[in-house]
Amino acid sequence: MNIFQVLFQTSIGKKAVMAVTGLIMVGFIIGHLVGNLQLFAPPEKINAYAHFLEGLGPGLWAIRAFLLLTLVLHVWMAIKLTLENKAARPQDYVSQQTLRATYASRTMRLSGFIVLAFLIYHLLHFTVRVEGFGTYPHTTLIDGTPVRDVHTMMVVGFQNIWISLFYIISVGLLSWHLNHGLVSMFQTVGFRSRTWSSFLTKASVLFSILYFLANAAIPGSVLAGVVKIQNPEVAGYVCPAKCAVCEAKNAKT
């Protein structure tokens, strides 16, 4: 058997592919969250960050292609393992343990597919910026250079309660998926001893809760009015100084 046959044809190989691709995606979502938390800083920060990413040009496309490949492999292996488990399963469940395992994998599959649907919406919303998806496609200036106004785009998007709720529920499901996924990953790579297993389970729960709270804080703080539109050119901007120019503009609208 060559390495590809081991990875894609044996059960342990497929689980290893799921573990490695899952870990790569965990790395991405942590980095993505850190980037997104810049929404709490002055708008120039997150706009400059988005501008920097865009400036990577072909490098950004290479990263996107690599992430897409990891996602495809992860989902493909999940489907293969599910179908094989179904085919190999004897008649009915006999023990509580089997029932519990089946419940966990069923919720993993369901949460996984809902997160996938969220991701498609999310890319249309913030990356492709399809009109009618609650997006804001305009630019702003940083030191005279036009850059995409990602700050306003996010605030405008999350001021819509339904979009915010959809994001919060989706990151909740992703966190649930992560929690179970991390535990399975540790089992695949061999951390099976009682002490390790209990520590890693607790660490996975803690990580998933923190991940959820940090993500939910983004739409949550826009809904709560903590993060506001800060571009004076955009409808909904509230001038903190109530200056004459803004007051005159507000009176007109």
Question: Which residues are near ligand HEM by CB under 6 A?
Answer: 29, 32, 36, 50, 53, 64, 115, 119, 122-123, 126-127, 150, 154, 167, 171, 174, 215, 218-219
**CA–CA separation, 14 and 175 (whole Å):** 22
Please state the closest distance from residue 231 (CB atom) to ligand HEM, in A.
15
Please state the closest distance from residue 127 (CB atom) to ligand HEM, in A.
5
Distances (CA, A) of 74 to 8, 13, 163: 11, 12, 27
Token digits of residue 183: 């535990």
CA angle 80, 23, 63 (to 5 degrees): 95
Q: Which residue has the tokens 């399975």?
A: 184
Token digits of residue 245: 């120019």
- In the complex with ligand HEM, the residue whose CB is nearer, 41 or 123, is 123
- In the complex with ligand HEM, the residue whose CB is nearer, 17 or 115, is 115
Please state the closest distance from residue 104 (CB atom) to ligand HEM, in A.
20
- In the complex with ligand HEM, the residue whose CB is nearer, 48 or 246, is 48
Please state the closest distance from residue 245 (CB atom) to ligand HEM, in A.
29
The torsion of the CA quartet 185, 22, 219, 124, rounded to 10 degrees, works out to -150
- In the complex with ligand HEM, the residue whose CB is nearer, 160 or 197, is 160
**CA–CA separation, 90 and 70 (whole Å):** 32
- In the complex with ligand HEM, the residue whose CB is nearer, 118 or 186, is 118
Please state the closest distance from residue 99 (CB atom) to ligand HEM, in A.
29
**CA–CA separation, 181 and 59 (whole Å):** 29
What are the b/e assignments for 77-92, b being 16+ CB within 10 Å? bbebbeeeeeeeeeee
